[in-house]
Amino acid sequence: MPEKLLEIRPILPQNREAAIELVNQFFRMVNKLPLDGIFKIRPRAAAKMVDIYLKLRATDKVLFIGGFIKEELVSLLIARVEEKPYLIEEMNLFIDLAITKQGKRKSGYMKPLVQETFRYAKEKGIQAIELRAISENKLAVEFWKKMGFDPFYVRFRKSL
C-alpha cells in the first residue's frame, strides 16, 4: 500500500522549489478548466503562495505539510486557522490547497495528509474544516465527498 511508504512532513524552506512545482501543476490544471473565462490564476502565483505560507507557518495558525516518498514531494496540503468570533464554533480550519503530483493521483497519497489535517484540527480544538472545490473539478469533488466532507455553502459567480 503506498501510504506505508509515504512520510508526512512539514514543508520547509528546503522544499520550496518542489512545493512551487506541485502548486504550479495544480494552477495549470485549474487554468485549463472550462470556467467563466475570467477566473485565471496569475503567472508566478505558485511561488508567491508558497513563500507566503513558508513565512506564515511560524504563526501556529497554518498547516503546511507534504507527503514524501523518500525525498520526492508527491502531495501537499495547505490549511489555515480562520478565527470566527461571531460564530459559536469561534474558529475553523480552511484548506486552501490540496494537490497530488501529476502521474501519482489516485494512488492514496492525499488521504494521509487529510487525516493529519483532522488530527491537527482536533488537537487545536477546532470543530470544523472547510474548503472550496471548483465544481468543474469532478475528481476533487468526488474525493472530498469520500473523505466525509459535505457541501455546505453555495458560492455563486456572475461575470460582468
**102, 47 in Cβ contact below 8 A?**
no
Q: Which residues contact 67 (CB under 8 A, 6 or more apart)?
A: 6, 7, 8, 73, 74, 75, 76, 100, 109, 110, 112, 113
22-67 per-position pLDDT tens digit: 999 999 999 998 888 889 999 999 999 999 999 998 898 999 999 9
The pLDDT of residue 1 is above 70: no
Q: State the maximum Cα–Cα separation within the chain, in Å, rounded to a whole number.
A: 49
Q: Is the dihedral of CA 116, 121, 122, 128 positive or negative?
A: negative
Q: How many helices (H) and strands (E) does the chain have?
A: 5, 5
Amino acid 4: pLDDT: 59
How many other C-beta atoms are found inside a 10 Å radius of the C-beta of residue 88?
6
Amino acid 72: pLDDT: 95
Amino acid 107: pLDDT: 84
122-154 per-position pLDDT tens digit: 999 999 999 999 888 888 999 999 999 998 888
Q: Please name every residue paired with 67 in a beta bridge, in sequence order, or none if there are none.
A: 8, 75
Sequence ranges of the domains in the chain: 6-147
73-110 per-position pLDDT tens digit: 999 999 999 999 998 889 999 999 999 998 888 888 99
Q: 25 versus 159: which is more confidently predicted?
A: 25
CATH, range 6-147: 3.40.630.30
